[in-house]
Amino acid sequence: MSVPENRLRIAVQKNGRLAERSLDLMREAGLRVMKGANDLLYRIENHPIDVLRVRDDDITTFVADGVCDLGVIGLNVLEEHAARRNGPRPEVVMRLGFGRCALKIAAPAEATWQGPEALAGRRIATSYPGVLQSWLRERNIEAEVVELHGAVEVAPRLKVAHAICDLVSTGATLEANGLKAVETVLESEAVLVRAPGGPPEAHQHLADVLTDRLRGVVAAQGAKYIMLNAPRSSLDRITRLLPGAGAPTITPLAGANDAVAVHAVCQENVFWETLEGLKGAGASAILVLPIEKMMM
C-alpha cells in the first residue's frame, strides 16, 4: 500500500456486539492493530490507518460527515440514521456476514395475529422510530410510535404499548416476556460503509486496497476447498452436488484410466449430507479444507 500524507480513518463500535468482530476483521485483512494508551483511537502499525472506537450510533454521523472514511455498523443503525436525518448518508460497500439479526414487530403471544392492519390506532414501542414509521407509512397504517431506549420488551406488560418493534436474533428475550414475533421490518447484519461519494483522493488507494482485502476475507468465510476422487462416468452428477462451486479442476489419477481427481472451491458451507450425497454418487477420498484467504 502506498503511504498518503495523512491517515485513513475507520470507525468501529467501541463496546458491544460488533466491537470484537470488527477488529478481528481488520486483523484478518492484514492490519496490525495497536491498542494504545488512547482508548478512543487504535493505530494500525503497518499501514497509515487509525481505528476510531465509538458508540455505534455515532459511527453513521462520523462517516456521513466524512470525519471517518470507512465504518463498520449494523444495517439497522444505518437505516435508522437515514430515516431521521436529511442530507448525505454513508454508502454501503458490502455486507460483512456477522451481527445478523432482524428488526421485528412482536405482539403478546396469547393473541391471534390479524396482520399489520391490526396495528392501526395502536401504540408500538421501539428504539427504531424512523425505520418503523417508514414501514408503517408504506402500508398506510396509522399507529402511535413510542420511542424507548431500553427494555422495550417490557412495554406491553407495563401497558406502555400494545406491541413492540425490536431487534431479535434468537427470540429468547421475546419469549421470556410473553411476546411473539409477527412481522419482519428489516433483516440486518454488519455492513462496511464509506463516506458519501467515497473517500478523499489522498485516501482512495488505501481504501480500495483495504476494501478488496475485506471482500476476500468475507468471501473466504464459510467457503471450503473440496478434493475428491471420482469415476469419470459420475462427474456430471458429482459436479452438480458441489454447493456453490465454479468450474472444478479435473485431473487424471496416475495408474487409473477411468478415475479422476476433482478439486473445487465451494462458496457455501459443505455439510455432512453433501458428503454423503457425493459418496453415493461414486466419489471417494473426499477432503474438505478451510480457506484462509481469497482474492477474486
Residues that bind ligand ATP (CB under 6 A): 13, 15-18, 55-57, 74, 76-77, 99, 101, 167, 169, 188
**Rounded (10°) angle between helices 75-84 and 56-64:** 60
Find which of ligand ATP, Mg ion, none residue 38 binds, CB within 5 to 8 Å per kind: none
> Which among 1-9, 49-57, 96-104, 176-184 is the span making contact with Mg ion, rule CB under 5 A?
49-57
Q: How far is the CB of 271 from ligand ATP (least distance, A)?
A: 24
Q: How far is the CB of 58 from Mg ion (least distance, A)?
A: 8
Q: How far is the CB of 227 from Mg ion (least distance, A)?
A: 45
Identity of the residue, 54 or 241, whose beta carbon is nearer to ligand ATP in the bound complex = 54
Identity of the residue, 13 or 177, whose beta carbon is nearer to ligand ATP in the bound complex = 13
Identity of the residue, 76 or 126, whose beta carbon is nearer to ligand ATP in the bound complex = 76
Residue 133 vs residues 34, 118, 144, 196: alpha-carbon distances, Å: 42, 15, 9, 24
Find which of ligand ATP, Mg ion, none residue 6 binds, CB within 5 to 8 Å per kind: none
Residue 93 vs residues 198, 208, 274: alpha-carbon distances, Å: 10, 11, 32
147 binds Mg ion, rule: CB under 5 A: no
d(CA 145, CA 143): 6
Query: Residue 215 in contact with residue 94, Cβ under 8 Å?
Result: yes
Find which of Mg ion, ligand ATP, none residue 36 binds, CB within 5 to 8 Å per kind: none
Angle at 279 between CA 274 and CA 284, to 5 degrees: 120
Q: Which three cell numbers stand for residue 182?
A: 409477527
Identity of the residue, 56 or 69, whose beta carbon is nearer to Mg ion in the bound complex = 56
Q: How far is the CB of 17 from ligand ATP (least distance, A)?
A: 4
Q: Which three cell numbers stand for residue 39?
A: 482508548
Find which of Mg ion, ligand ATP, none residue 74 binds, CB within 5 to 8 Å per kind: ligand ATP
Task: Classify strands 190-194 and 70-74 as parallel, antiparallel or unpaired.
Answer: antiparallel
Q: How far is the CB of 212 from ligand ATP (least distance, A)?
A: 25
Return the residues of window 50-69 that contact Mg ion according to CB under 5 A: 56-57
Q: How far is the CB of 177 from ligand ATP (least distance, A)?
A: 14
Identity of the residue, 214 or 278, whose beta carbon is nearer to ligand ATP in the bound complex = 214
Identity of the residue, 126 or 274, whose beta carbon is nearer to ligand ATP in the bound complex = 126
Identity of the residue, 54 or 143, whose beta carbon is nearer to Mg ion in the bound complex = 54
